[in-house]
């Protein structure tokens, strides 16, 4: 499974566990369930929202590669580790 797929899977599972929990992307706040829906429908989003999702995934991917604690947390959430 690709690294971005693992991150997306972990976020979706987190959304199921904490649907009303908040996640901050850029200057906006979303519930986990709202953001998971944005991940699913990213091609239908406005250009600005699509860019937010891409920036979030790029930052998460960088953290995943460089930060061992973050990597372990994501792998555990995704059921991969």
Query: What's the pTM value of the predicted model, to 2 decimals?
Result: 0.84
CB atoms within 10 A of CB 22: 11
pLDDT of residue 75: 95
Please write the tens of the pLDDT for every residue from 2-23: 999 999 999 999 999 999 999 9
Distance separating the N- and C-terminal Cα atoms of the chain: 12
Q: Which 3 state secondary structure label does DSSP give 67?
A: coil
Please write the tens of the pLDDT for every residue from 36-59: 999 988 889 999 999 999 999 999
pLDDT of residue 1: 73
CB-count exposure of residue 24 (10 Å: 0-12, 13-18, 19+): exposed
Report how far residue 66's alpha carbon sits from residue 44's, in angstroms, rounded to the nearest whole number.
31
């Amino acid at each position: 499974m690709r690294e971005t797929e693992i991150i997306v899977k972990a976020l979706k599972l987190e959304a199921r566990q904490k649907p009303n929990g908040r996640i901050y992307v850029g200057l906006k706040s979303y519930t986990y369930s709202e953001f998971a829906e944005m991940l699913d429908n990213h091609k239908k989003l406005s250009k600005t929202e699509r860019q937010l999702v891409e920036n979030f995934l790029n930052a998460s991917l960088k953290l995943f590669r460089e930060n061992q604690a973050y990597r372990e947390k994501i792998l555990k959430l995704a059921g991969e580790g």
